[in-house]
Structure 1
Amino acid sequence: MWIEQLEYDGGLDYKGKVTFGKKTIISSKHNIVGKSTLLRVILYALGFKVVMTNGIAALNLKTDIKIITDDSEKIQIFRDTEKVILKWISSGKIKEMHLPEDSKALQSIFFNFNNIRILDNCLGTFYFEQGRGYSLINHGVVTPKNYFDLKDLIIQLVPEIEEKLKIIDKKESIIKRKISAINAINAVLRDKNASLEENDEDEITIQNLNSLKFKLNQLKKRKRAIKESINDNNKLLQYIGKLKLKLRLSDGTKVLVTPDKIEGMESTIGYLKSEKVVLNNQIEETKQLISINEQGLKNKYKNQTLDKFAIPKAFNLDKNNAILKYLQERRDSLTSQKKELLKKHSYQELQDRLYKLYTDNANELKISKWLSHGIFSSKNISGLIGTEQEFTALSIRLAALKLIEESTKINLPLILDSPFQELDTDNRKLLVKFLENEFSEKHQIIITSVAKEIPENLDDNWQIITID
């Protein structure tokens, strides 16, 4: 896939139009001028949920991005907050979609993935966020709602075992919950003072408790999101105040742009604060309901641990232990089934291929301390320092990118935010040479960098866009 052009309008003079080449460097004389934001706007235009910088998330951001798929189909995507319009240029066909519910369906169109679940991991193979992106290998957050996990990615590339593994995982989850419940009950039964009896009303109370606790977590998440939005708005106002911009009126007079003169911002922040107050009230009410339900159970079962409480069908220690032994045997059997399933299919072959691709990349980037087979994790990488750490993480994630390419025949773009920042002159040149040799033929490359960090003597095929 090739990103051809991006046009964006976020209001407050945040507007622009950028045309990308096959190899593009977005440059500036200084940092903090919007290079990282521009990359995030690209992802936003493609339907991903991203953290926007400089308060742009609070604005009504509209984007118009033109892409060319691997099938040479040109698609134009208009996004206005949650509404997306796709237009196929050759046929004029138009399709309307809505985010976030249609995000995977949208991305599967222009990435041309038959296996939509790969989308859960693909972003972590081609987008490298400044500062933290290089160190996230397993279970890492790439952007909100987008994660990167190598094991899951490999499983998703083997569709013949994915559904079987899902069935096993579901069975394992059920057994785990049952084992936890029986262990909790056994702990009570071992207490000489415990006195339990079956009661349908208690079971209903526990179900209510679980529902209330789930509701409380959702309310807290919403409160955190509102708090972040308020902070982003305030930061934007402070930033505008520091700029000391002036507007020239029709009569020639100049007016200083101050935060208090920005129409609508105060009401937006006021609305968010009001919603925060309402949420605080709902949180307190939910906490009170949880407390009332818990206290009722505590009064009846004083020795019970409520967090693990569950009503079993029989309160008999010997019988429970027999059930527990059976469940543990079933869990061990499922674990063995999973291992055998992975061995018999191409999962192991893909894992071996991933390691081979990693070592090839590591060799090209002159890494001296290769990771051992099968220990790709953030913990192992954090034990390295400096360039070794950056290049090791880069080697692993780009190996995953190549694995996707080999398995799906899809060529994703490569987007790197400030990759030269922590490197010396020689390693910057080494990285550019590596990217040109390994990726420039099939993949579009987009890089951000301050001008002084761009390696010298780049070939003429590199397009440099300055956004100062």
Structure 2
Amino acid sequence: MRIVSLQVNSMQQTFLGDNQKIFTFTPGVNIVFSKENSVGKTTLLRMLMYALGYPIPNTRGIRFSDYETILTVIGVAESEFVLTRNRDYIEITCDGTEKGYSLPTEQNEIHTLIFGIENSEVVENLLGAFYVDQEKGWTLLNRGKAIGNIRFSLESLLRGLSEKSNDELSQRLATVKRELQKYRHMLDVAKYKAEINKLGEAVYSDSPADEIDTALEVLYCERKPLEEELCRIKSVVRKNNSFEKYITSFRLRVKTPDGTEIPVNKDTLVGYADTTLLLVAKQKIICEQLAVIDRKIHQLRVKQDRDSMLFNVKSSLEQFDSEISKIDIDALATQRIIAKLEKERKTLEEQVITSVKQNNPLIAELHSLISRYATRLGLDEKYVSARNDYIFTNDLKSLSGAIFHKVVFAFKISYVALIRNHTGVCLPIILDSPSGREVSEENVNEMMAILAEDYTEHQIIIASIYNSYDFADKNIIELQGRLLPF
């Protein structure tokens, strides 16, 4: 997949008339360049990902939902896709056909269409493989947040690429994570309640206004089923009347055994009149019941309006405290449940990793790729262990500064290569500020040399304050002034 162009349109009218900007990208190397920082390089890269359908966080001063984006990409089977995004709706045009998608519910469907990859676990981890964000990207090794709330999991990626899914285990892990989140919220409520008690703030009891609200809620609950039943009866009566007119219009007659002809109408249909009278009677009873309830509601409304002048209305915070004080939560029991769930989560995650490792040749392949690139970047063997399972490491404390930067780079480009080897898809490689974090110019040149030698089939987009990277052919997109002057 490669990006052809990005058009950004302002959703607001401007007096200058300049409400559109277009950025064009070549299939090879593209350098988004500016002599100074904070002019929009990161914003442009994020807007590319936003236009592709990802829930990308805004940058300072730019709210992506204020703009319409039109992204043209070359996707699966060299097909050209035009993605027009307007807030949470994307319209995709391909080969003369158009189809609309809603975000975020149909995000995976969009990316499956463009990248041509069917496995959902692979699709969900693509961004974390090919896009390195300035803030979190250079600290993401094998699991965590790639940007915003978009997560990356090496275990999930390998499971998808090797088709080693364990649905029961994965579903249980997802359930445990959801339960953990809920119990943590419960514990937060318990802590807040304890804080209220500690400060000695009064717990507010229900006022007469609260009692009126409760009584009204009860009446509305009684009224709803009656109203629905009345609507149903009216519908049946209307249909009966229509049937009567319909059957009469045919002027049908039936012949009895003795030869007598009888017209078919409401008078001759057995039980028709009785059924109609029953429905009308039932309709009258329900109308009377509704009238009684409506009178009570009216009386309470009048009392509510009159009493509202007499009662002090609680502030939102007081009302909130009052509701919280009614919730009975055992904080200690909740903490014990959280500890138990945490233990189960860790066990399940270990089981997931174990299930991925079993007889999986992709692990050795990925480790070989990472080791080869680490060696080319001059990293000592102690930073990339000879053991295959090092790719699942949690030990990031031993990595710092330029070393961590180069290790992340080795991991990321290896993910891209692995995906290419097993899906045939050449992902773009998008790097935001590769020269940061105490990385020397020599180290950066070593990284760029790897891209120039091993990733010629991939589109490369780099945002940097340097444009002197040694690529044979490169497209410089220089930003001057504001990225979007509207």
TM range (shorter): 0.5 to 0.7
- 1:455 and 2:468 are equivalent in the alignment: yes
Corresponding residue SS for 1:71: helix
Unaligned runs of 5+ in 1: 181-205, 217-279, 299-303, 311-323, 325-329
Aligned residue identity for 2:448: V
Letter aligned with residue 420 of structure 1:
S
Paired letter, 2:7 = E
- What aligned pairs does 1:412-431 form with structure 2 within 5 A after superposition? 412-421=427-436, 422-431=438-447
From 71, 79, 87, the counterpart of 2:85: 79
Does residue 5 of structure 1 match 2:5?
yes
Answering whether residue 145 of structure 2 is matched by residue 141 of structure 1, we say yes
Q: Give the Å deviation of 1:39.
A: 0.3
Deviation for aligned residue 1:343: 5.5
Amino acid at match of 2:380: S
Q: What one-letter code is carried by the residue in structure 1 that aligns with 2:326? A: I
Larger gyration radius, structure 1 or structure 2: 2
The TM-score normalised by the length of structure 1 is 0.64
Change (3 A) 1:23 1:284: farther
Are the equivalent residues in 1 in contact too, given 2:125–2:157 (CA < 8 A)? yes
Task: For 1:291, give the aligned amino acid.
Answer: S
Counterparts of 1:179-190 in structure 2, within 5 Å, are none
**Partners of 1:135 and 1:381 within 8 A in 2:** no
Report whether the alignment pairs 1:293 with 2:327: yes
Q: 1:69 to 1:210 in 2, by over 3 A?
A: same
RMSD across aligned positions (CA): 3.8
Separation of aligned partners in 2, 1:333 and 1:395: 29
Deviation track 1:306-350 (CA, whole Å, cap 9, x = no partner) reads: 42589xxxxxxxxxxxxx9xxxxx99999998687546542xx22
Contact preservation (8 Å) 1:47, 1:106: yes
Alpha-carbon shift at residue 31 of structure 1 (Å)? 1.0
Question: Following the alignment from structure 2 to structure 1, what is the Cα–Cα distance between the partners of residues 159 and 369?
Answer: 17
The correspondence of residues 209-220 of structure 1 with structure 2, limited to 5 A, is: none
Deviation at 1:131, TM superposition (A): 4.0
Superposed CA deviations along residues 215-267 of structure 1, whole A, max 9, x for unmatched, are x9xxxxxxxxxxxxxxxxxxxxxxxxxxxxxxxxxxxxxxxxxxxxxxxxxxx
| 1:380 to 1:289, Cα distance in 2 relative to 1, 3 A | same
| 1: CA distance, partners of 2:477 / 2:137 | 23
Compared with structure 1, are the counterparts of its residues 397 and 211 closer, same or farther at alpha carbon in structure 2 (3 Å cutoff)? same
Deviations 1:347-400 (A, max 9, x none): xx2222211110011122222243223244685344233322211111012212
Question: How many residue pairs align between the two structures?
Answer: 342
Q: Which residue of 1 aligns with 2:451?
A: 435
Report the Cα offset of residue 292 of structure 1.
1.1
What is the deviation of 1:140? 1.9
Identity of aligned residues (%): 25
Q: Is the 8 A contact 2:452 2:471 kept in 1?
A: no
Q: CA deviation at 1:169?
A: 4.2
Superposed, 1:46-445 pairs within 5 Å as: 46-57=52-63, 60-88=66-94, 91-166=95-170, 169=173, 173=176, 285=319, 287-294=321-328, 305-307=332-334, 341-342=355-356, 344-346=358-360, 349-369=361-381, 370-372=383-385, 373=387, 374-376=389-391, 380-421=395-436, 422-440=438-456, 442-445=457-460
CA distance in 2, matches of 1:212, 1:131: 29
2:125 is paired with a residue whose SS is helix
Return the alpha-carbon distance in structure 1 between the equivalents of residues 345 and 449 of structure 2. Answer: 50
Unaligned runs of 5+ in 2: 193-313, 481-486
The CA deviation at 1:445 is 0.3
Match of 2:100, SS? strand
Aligned-partner SS, 1:161? coil
What amino acid is the match of 1:54?
R
Would you say the 8 A contact 2:467–2:476 is kept in 1? no
